[in-house]
Amino acid sequence: MIKKTAIATALAAAALLPLTQAQAADYAIDTEGQHAFIQFKISHLGFSYILGSFEEFSGSFRYAPENLEDAAANLEVDVASLTSNHAERDKHIKSDDFLAVGEYPTATFTSTGFAPSGDNEGVLSGELTLHGETNAIEMPVTLLGEGEDPWGNYRAGFEGSTTLVLADYGIDMSQFPEVMHELELYVTFEGIRQ
C-alpha cells in the first residue's frame, strides 16, 4: 500500500516537472518556518506608534545575482490576519471603517521591475492592491544575506520598507490628524531556493 502510494506520488511529481521546471533563481518565501514578516507602523494621534503585522501570507521571488534586472516578487496577504495585539482595535481596523476585510479579504503585491542601486541594494517597483484599490509603489530593498543554510537548503533574505498614503487605497483617515494619514510598511523575509 505504502509502496503504491510512493509510486503514484513519484509519477505525479514526474508529470508535473516539465510544468514547474523551477529555475535556480526561484525562491519560496519561508512562511512555514516563520522567517518572514509584514509589519506596519502608524501614528496614534501623534502620541506614539501602533505596530502591527499580518500573520498569514504567502509568496515567492526570483533573484539571481548575475541577472538582477530579472528580479521579481509576488505576495498574497490574508488581510484578516492583521494583529496589533489588541483584539478590539484589530476588529475596528478590519471593519468597514478602514480595511473592510469582509469585502476585500486579500491584499496582493506583484512586482513590475527591479532597478539595482548599489551593492546588495535596489528598488523594487510593483503594484499593490489593498482595500480593492491598486497603486504602483516603489520599495527600496536590501539583500541581507544568502547562502547554504544548516539544513540542506539555499536561502536568501531581504528587507524593505515604503510609505503608503492610505487615501490612495480608499481608506478614509480624514477624521484623524495628518500624521495618521500614512503608514510605514516594513517587510523582511527569507526565501528557500526551489
Partner 1 sequence: MWNNTRRGWGLVSILLHWLGALAIIGLFALGWWMTGLDYYHRWYNLGPWWHLSVGMLLLLVTLVRLGWRFLQPTPQAQGQRLERLAAHLGHLGLYLLMLVVLISGYLIPTAEGQGIKVFDAFEVPALISGLPNQATLAGQVHWYSALALILLSVGHALAALKHHWVDRSDVLTRMVDPRRSRRP
Chain contacts with partner 1 (rule: CB under 8 A)? 80, 83, 85-88, 90-91, 94-95, 101-102, 175-176
- The rounded distance, in Å, linking the Cα atoms of 94 and 82 is 8
Write down the least CB distance from residue 179 to partner 1, Å.
Answer: 15
Beta carbon nearer to partner 1, 42 or 124: 42
**113 and 123 Cβ atoms separated by less than 8 Å:** no
Nearer of residues 14 and 87 to partner 1, judged by Cβ: 87
Taking the least distance from each CB to partner 1, the nearer of 36 and 101 is: 101
Which residue type does 2 have?
I
Residue 74 Cβ, how far from partner 1 at the closest point, in Å?
A: 24
Tell me the closest approach of the beta carbon of residue 1 to partner 1, in angstroms: 35
Host H or E run for residue 44: strand 36-44
Cβ distance to partner 1 smaller for residue 83 or 110 = 83
For 148, residues 6+ apart whose C-beta sits below 8 A from its C-beta are 154, 155
What amino acid is encoded at 88 in this protein? E
Task: From residue 1, give the alpha-carbon distance in Å to each of 4, 6, 9, 104.
Answer: 5, 9, 12, 44
Question: Shortest approach of partner 1 to residue 33 CB, angstroms?
Answer: 20
Q: Which three cell numbers stand for residue 181?
A: 494619514
What's the min distance (Å) between Cβ of 93 and partner 1? 10
Nearer to partner 1, 94 or 193 (CB): 94
Least distance to partner 1, CB of residue 64, Å: 37
Nearer to partner 1, 70 or 86 (CB): 86
Kind of pairing between the strands at 82-83 and 106-118: unpaired
User: How far is residue 134's CA from residue 109's CA, in Å, rounded to a whole number?
Assistant: 9
